[in-house]
């Protein structure tokens, strides 16, 4: 079975639109959460989000084309091209039938749906754009990237809410392991910071309402957390078989040692109280990686800042590691980016690889009073140097979809 490695990464995030910007901002404990500038929020209960700032589509889209592609697609094309550049991979140098694109999205072109619905209601069906359907369907990010590259290998779009990107990575790993592809582009994208996104998550009381201090609203593991902060963006990883990467002399950033999945089989939005579904996905990932619990030194948690989710996840980690957690550090990237939904786990996978490369763990921001039920080192006191060879990236979606990827030092 082929070993899978990471050779390139790219992103668009509330903390910057390159991997370097993202990583440096996390180490500096900057927040990408601020008052929403894209639309008037005065009638809404929530006025802030992890909004993408200063994004320029022009390197990959003409002004005319930018109007025909949703932000969802623009973000992931930008990320994919940057990832290919870091991987020093010429798309024409690979066998196009053995190169594929699996890119996830939890919501698709959500802003376009909203804007088009307004147009339909106010101006009638004749004013609906002929580009409406291609702009909103979730798979079009993967479609557009494969079209641009001419890659004809496996291409599709996992949709599993906030676990979508990890499922994209896992699916891409499977294609390489099974010998169906040499190179895969994996990741996810989201554009949910829009009127209907804010209104919908606010109505279900899932997101924080700390309008008085947005930068302190996303507070995973804190005793007084009150919900997640909605974010957006994209993250992409270039995955290759190790033999393919070595043959072309690529720099290997990390290995993917194992993957794990499970279902809570419990509730449409709430996690299992006992964390058994999350525990199972962690155990499955460890089994796939063929490593013991003492080998994993770091976990980038799902860590959303929800009252139920953080405790359930940390309890599951504690149980899966049999209480042997003295060597383990965990953190929550969402404390600074907000929750990027279908893009979250791809971006957090990038952060996990950066942590392995630098042997450094960024802080979890906004832990003012740690929840006493959380028995883990959540890195609330700042970034720290940490020596480790294996790390996990956790991601769990509404509907009980659980996913874990184990990255390893090369």
The answer to whether the Cα torsion of 29, 395, 289, 241 is positive or negative is: negative
- With tokens 């619990």, the residue in question is 293
Structure-token pair, residue 91: 């798309």
Which residue out of 78, 167, 244, 302 is catalytically annotated?
302
Residue 162 designated active-site: yes
Which residue out of 162, 194, 314, 379 is catalytically annotated?
162
Structure-token pair, residue 163: 């676990």
Cross-strand bridge partners of residue 49: 34
Residue 339 designated active-site: yes
Residue 120: burial class (beta carbons within 10 Å; 0-12, 13-18, 19+): middle
Longest dimension (CA), the chain: 63
Question: What is the 8-class DSSP label of residue 224?
Answer: T
Residue 302 designated active-site: yes
- Of 157, 160, 195, 147, give the one whose Cα is nearest residue 36: 195
Which residue out of 167, 244, 339, 362 is catalytically annotated?
339
Neighbours of 53 (CB within 10 A): 14
The answer to whether the Cα torsion of 116, 121, 122, 128 is positive or negative is: positive
How far apart (Å, rounded) are the C-alpha atoms in residues 173 and 151?
17
* H or E element in which residue 75 lies: helix 71-86
How far apart (Å, rounded) are the C-alpha atoms in residues 86 and 251?
9
- With tokens 């639309």, the residue in question is 39
Find out whether 253 and 18 touch, Cβ atoms under 8 Å: no
- Of 41, 357, 5, give the one whose Cα is nearest residue 196: 41
For residue 360, CA distances in Å to 39, 293, 297, 299 come to 37, 20, 11, 12
Structure-token pair, residue 229: 């902060």
Catalytic residue positions, numbered: 162, 302, 339
């Amino acid at each position: 079975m082929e070993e899978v490695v990471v050779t390139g990464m790219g992103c668009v995030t509330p903390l910057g639109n390159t991997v370097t910007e993202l990583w440096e901002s996390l180490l500096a404990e900057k927040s990408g959460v601020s008052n929403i500038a894209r639309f008037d929020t005065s009638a809404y209960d929530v006025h802030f989000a992890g909004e993408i700032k200063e994004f320029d589509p022009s390197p990959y889209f003409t002004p005319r084309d930018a109007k025909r592609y949703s932000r969802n697609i623009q973000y992931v094309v930008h990320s994919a091209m940057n990832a290919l550049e870091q991987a020093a991979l010429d798309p024409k140098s690979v066998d196009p039938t053995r190169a594929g694109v699996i890119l996830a999205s939890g919501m698709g072109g959500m802003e376009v749906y909203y804007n088009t619905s307004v147009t339909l209601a106010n101006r009638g069906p004749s004013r609906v754009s002929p580009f409406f359907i291609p702009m909103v369907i979730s798979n079009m990010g993967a479609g557009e990237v494969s079209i641009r590259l001419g890659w004809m290998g496996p291409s599709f779009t996992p949709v599993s809410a906030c676990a979508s990107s990890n499922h994209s990575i896992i699916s891409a790993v499977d294609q390489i392991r099974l010998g169906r592809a040499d190179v895969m582009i994996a990741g996810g994208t989201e554009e949910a910071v829009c009127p209907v996104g804010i209104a919908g998550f606010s109505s279900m009381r899932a997101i924080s309402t700390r309008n008085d201090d947005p930068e302190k609203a996303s507070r995973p593991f804190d005793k007084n957390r009150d919900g997640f902060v909605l974010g957006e963006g994209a993250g992409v990883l270039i995955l290759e078989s190790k033999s393919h990467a070595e043959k072309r002399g690529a720099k290997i950033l990390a290995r993917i040692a194992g993957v794990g999945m499970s279902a809570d089989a419990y509730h449409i939005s709430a996690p299992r109280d006992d964390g058994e579904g999350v525990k199972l996905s962690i155990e499955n990932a460890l089994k796939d990686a063929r490593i013991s619990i003492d080998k994993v030194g770091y976990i980038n948690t799902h860590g959303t800042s929800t009252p139920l989710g953080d405790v359930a996840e940390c309890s599951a980690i504690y149980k899966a590691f049999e209480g042997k957690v003295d060597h383990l550090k965990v953190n929550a990237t969402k404390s600074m980016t907000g929750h990027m939904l279908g893009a979250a786990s791809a971006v957090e996978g990038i952060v996990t690889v950066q942590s392995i490369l630098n042997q450094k763990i960024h802080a979890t921001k906004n832990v003012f009073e740690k929840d006493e039920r959380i028995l883990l080192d959540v890195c609330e006191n700042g970034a720290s140097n940490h020596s480790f060879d294996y790390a996990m990236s956790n991601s769990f979606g509404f509907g009980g979809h659980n996913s874990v990827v184990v990255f390893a030092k090369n």
